[in-house]
Amino acid sequence: MTGVGTAVRIRFRGPVAALSATERLRLIDRVPESDDIVRTTSEAIIDVVRREGDAALVALARDYDKVRLKSLEVPRETWREALQALEPAVRAAMERAAANIRAVHTAMVPQSLETNPEPGVTIGRRPDPLQRVGVYAPGGRAAYPSSVLMGVIPARVAGVGDVIICAPPGANGLPAAVTLAAAELSGADRVFAVGGAGAIAAMAYGTETIPRVDRIVGPGNAYVAQAKLLVASAVAIDAPAGPSELLVIADEDANPTRIAIELLAQAEHDPDAAVVLVAVGETIADRVVAEIERHLPVQARRTIIEQAFADRGAVLTAPTTRDAVIFANEFAPEHLLLATHDADALLADVRSAGTVFVGEASSVVFGDYMTGANHVLPTGGLARSYSGLSTLDFVRWTTYQRIDREAAARLSQDVGVFADAEQLPAHAAAARAWRPSA
C-alpha cells in the first residue's frame, strides 16, 4: 500500500542539455572528497597494526566495536551452526544465489592462449590463480551475506588456493550470523572477527594470526575504502568503492511505478547514493516523480532516501534514447537500467557502466542478489576505466615466449639495429650472437 504522497526535493531537474557547467560537473564528478579525519585515522590504524599485529586488532575491537575478543579467528563449527540455524527460506535463497554466481563465473573463467606472430615465435599467456585472497564483509549498519558470496565464490571458481574473510564483530564477539552462514555456503577457508581499516591492514601486511593476502576485495565504509587505497602499493585491491548509484533511461513505454520503485530501492542504500532518471518523452519524467512521491511516505528508510534525492538525485530529459546513452556514458554509473523500447539496440552503445540491465523487467535488485552476475562494481564514475568483480580479478597472467633457432637467426639483425638505436650495445651483441654466420 502506498501513501498519500509528499513532495520530494530532487537536486537536478530539467533537460540534460540545459545543465550548467557547474551542475554537470557536480553530477559527473562523484568521487568523494578526501576527508582528512578518515585519512589520518586510517593511516594511524594501518601503522599500529603493522607494528603491533594481533594486539592492535584486539585493542581496535575494544575501542571501536566495544567488544573484548577472546579470539580473532572464528571456529569453523560456528559457521556451520550459523548455516544450520538459518530460516529455510533464507537458506534456499542464498543457495540459489550461490549456484547462479558459481554458474556465471565458471562460464567466464579466463583461458590460456598462444599465438604465432611469425614462424618459429610462440607467445603465450596463462592465467594463474592467486595464492591467497581476502574478502572484506561489511557489518556496520547491516550485514551483507550477498557480498560474501560475490567475493568468495568467484575466487573459488578461479582456483584461488586460500580465501579468508574479515568481518566486524558484534556484541557477542562474532560477525553477523548471516555472514558466517554465507562463509560456510561459499566455501571460504577462514573467517576473522576483525573490521574496518584494521582488517584491511591485517590482510595487506599480515599479523601473527591473519595471513597476508595477494588481493583484497569487497565493499566497506569510508575507512575501509580509504585503507584499501592506502595499502594498494603493497597488495592488489578491487575498484575503489563508494555509495550506490543508479541511472535509468526510460521512454514512454516504461511503467512509471516500476521505474520509481527502482530509484527508491537504490536511494535507500545510503544518503550519498546517486539516483538519476534520464527520461525520453513528454510525460514520463513527471509520471515517475509523481510515483516517487506517492511511494515515499511508507518507505522504512525514508530519511535516507530523501537525503539521497536532495543531494545527488536528478530527473533529466533527453530528446532521444541515443542522447540519453551519450549522457550515461559520461556519467558512468555503477548500475544502468535501460527501460526503453530499443534497449537491446542501445546496449551496443554503452561504454561506461558497472553493469547494464537490459529491459524494464531486468530489475537492478535481481542483479544485486540472484542473477549470478557480480554486484561488486565501480562507483564514482570509475566505470569509465574499471570493471565489475569477476574471475579475472583472482588470477595473474604469466606470459611466456618460445623462439626456435631459425627464428632467432631471423630476428637477430633487426633486434641488433633496434638496440643500437637505443644505444644499448650489450643488447645488440646478445641479438647478433644468433646471426646465421655466428
By annotation, the residues acting in catalysis are 334-335
- Kindly state the DSSP code that residue 53 receives in the 8-state scheme: T
Beta bridge partners of 336: 247, 356
Task: Report the alpha-carbon distance of residue 327 to residue 246 in Å, rounded.
Answer: 13
Task: Report the alpha-carbon distance of residue 367 to residue 351 in Å, rounded.
Answer: 19
For the record, the C-alpha cell of 405 comes out as 633457432
Check: CB of residue 287 under 8 Å from CB of residue 1.
Answer: no
Q: Which of 2, 26, 1 is closest to 12 using CA atoms?
A: 26
Other beta carbons within 10 Å of 394 = 27
Task: Report the alpha-carbon distance of residue 9 to residue 306 in Å, rounded.
Answer: 7
For the record, the C-alpha cell of 168 comes out as 566486524
Phi, psi of 14 (to 5 degrees): 125, -175
Task: Report the alpha-carbon distance of residue 357 to residue 335 in Å, rounded.
Answer: 8
Task: Report the alpha-carbon distance of residue 436 to residue 37 in Å, rounded.
Answer: 66
What is the amino acid identity at position 44?
A
Alpha carbon of residue 50 to chain centroid: 26
- Kindly state the DSSP code that residue 108 receives in the 8-state scheme: T
